[in-house]
Amino acid sequence: MTALYQKIRTIQRQTLEFLVRRFFARTLEKRAGEVVSVFEGWIEPKQSPKWLDVGGSWGFCAKELRKKGFLSFVLDVVKPAVQAVPVFVYPGDKIPFKDGSWDVVSMITMLHHVPQPKALVEEAVRVSKKYVLLTEDLDGFGGRFWTVLRDMIFNLEFLGHPKQFRGQDEWTAFFESCGLKLVRFVKVQTRLLGLPIENGFYLFEKTGQSA
């Protein structure tokens, strides 16, 4: 059963990679520009230039960040078929960088895919010098059922989706429990393939830091 489970998971991912490479790269790149524009100006690249986008997959957001003056890279558990920026591949447990190696660590619409999000957030806090930025899907039209179903469809993750979704205030409390304080928040409705998505954009700062 485990072997079959892993095979199906692999097929799901390979199919998604094929579709992105063949049909949807430009759509996702455009969306990345819209996403980055929401928090553009929150962080000054001259003061905090090194940016690690955890779970950034194809690197479309990281590519947009480079256009804004950041030295951005992607960290992920798989090597994507499309690489818009260099990608560090790791096993998914301990992030392979020293404490405070990155000025900013971001997790953009990916944490709900992580089976143990607290462990990952604690690692993100460890390697961040100052900021942790989170973008997450929030429940909108259709409630939690639609949030989960839409994400399964868009990511072709019908088997094994961790469904680690939380509400707006739940994400704030979750990150504060990991030694962070919220300094900026905005909720924006974005669209992907014409469907509306409620996204929360959070900028957290390590406790003891000053903006």
- Per residue in 149-177, pLDDT (tens digit) is 999 999 999 999 999 999 999 999 999 99
pLDDT over 90 percentage in the chain: 91
Band (pLDDT 50/70/90 cuts) for residue 211 is very low
Cα distance between residue 190 and residue 198, in whole Å = 6
DSSP 8-state code for residue 56 = -
Pull the structure tokens for residue 5.
């489970």
* Cβ neighbours of residue 190 closer than 8 Å, sequence gap 6 or more: 31, 34, 35, 196, 197, 199
Element (H, E) at 182: strand 180-192
What pLDDT does 194 receive?
Answer: 85
CB 175 within 8 A of CB 121: yes
Tokens of residue 206, six digits: 């390590």
Quote the CA–CA distance of 193 and 10 in Å, as a whole number: 24
- How would you classify residue 41: left for phi > 0, otherwise alpha for psi between -120 and 50, otherwise beta? left
Tokens of 65: 């960040």
- Give pLDDT, residue 142: 83
Beta bridge partners of 201: 135, 186
Q: What is the mean pLDDT of the chain?
A: 94
Q: How confident is the model at residue 191 (pLDDT cuts 50, 70, 90)?
A: confident
Q: Tell me: the pLDDT tens digits for 28-79?
A: 999 999 999 999 999 999 998 999 999 999 999 999 999 999 999 999 999 9
Provide the terminal-to-terminal Cα distance of the chain, rounded to the nearest Å: 50
Average pLDDT estimate for 77-88: 94
Q: What is the pLDDT of residue 208?
A: 65
Q: What is the mean pLDDT of residues 182-189?
A: 97
Say which DSSP state 24 is in: I
